[in-house]
Amino acid sequence: MPNTEPMTQRVELATVMDRLAVDGLITEYAVAVDDGDWEAYRGLFAPAGRADYRSAGGIEGDARQVADWLAESMRLFPMRQHLIVNRRLRFGILEQDTGDTAHVQADYVNPMRFAQDGAASAAPDFVCGGRYTFGLTRTYDGWRLSEVVVREKWRRLPEPAATR
């Protein structure tokens, strides 16, 4: 009877390495948005990668278009901090090779601080939350985003100042 243990161990190790790489890519996504590093943001996407922020009042388009829109709209929020949690990962099949695609569904909470005169203010936070869907593709350069879809479920806006 052939010993399949070394092959099984290699497959399991490869799966663990892919999980770590996908998790790292999702973290890099959050850091790029929070830090306003739009060049890094664009670099996370596969050449045909797209993002859809329409449920949060944004746009849908290719990574360049969306990065340009984010760069402009995030000026309102000089302080932002994504928290992406509850990541559920599934690997898929592309061209008959197991593991060439991945699908991640993850919840997020995103507190942001409004700008006042171009800087972070003491104004109350704007906080939103929802769920991301990330589509990923294995490329020669590693895992890249093929799709990002934001499904905003809730938001809390600052309460208006009390009138006297």
pLDDT single digits (tens) 31-78? 999 999 999 999 999 999 999 999 999 999 999 999 999 999 999 888
Kind and range of the H or E run holding 12 = helix 5-35
Q: What letter does residue 81 receive in the DSSP assignment?
A: -
pLDDT score of 109: 96
- Asked if residues 39 and 68 have their Cβ atoms less than 8 Å apart, the reply is no
Confidence of residue 164 (pLDDT cuts 50, 70, 90): very low
Flag whether 163 is in a domain.
no
Flag whether 161 is in a domain.
no
Flag whether 70 is in a domain.
yes
Flag whether 162 is in a domain.
no
Number of structural domains found in the chain: 1
Alpha carbon distance 75, 62 (integer Å): 20
Place of tokens 């746009």: 59
User: What CATH number does residue 20 fall under?
Assistant: 3.10.450.50
Flag whether 87 is in a domain.
yes
Helices (H), 4-163: 5-35, 38-43, 63-73
Alpha carbon distance 136, 119 (integer Å): 35
Flag whether 21 is in a domain.
yes
Flag whether 32 is in a domain.
yes
pLDDT single digits (tens) 86-131? 999 999 866 555 568 999 999 999 999 888 765 556 665 889 999 9
Amino acid (one-letter) located at 26: I
Whole domain around residue 86: which residue ranges? 5-156
- Asked if residues 134 and 148 have their Cβ atoms less than 8 Å apart, the reply is yes
pTM exceeding 0.75:
yes
Flag whether 129 is in a domain.
yes
Distance of CA 36 to the CA centre of its chain: 13
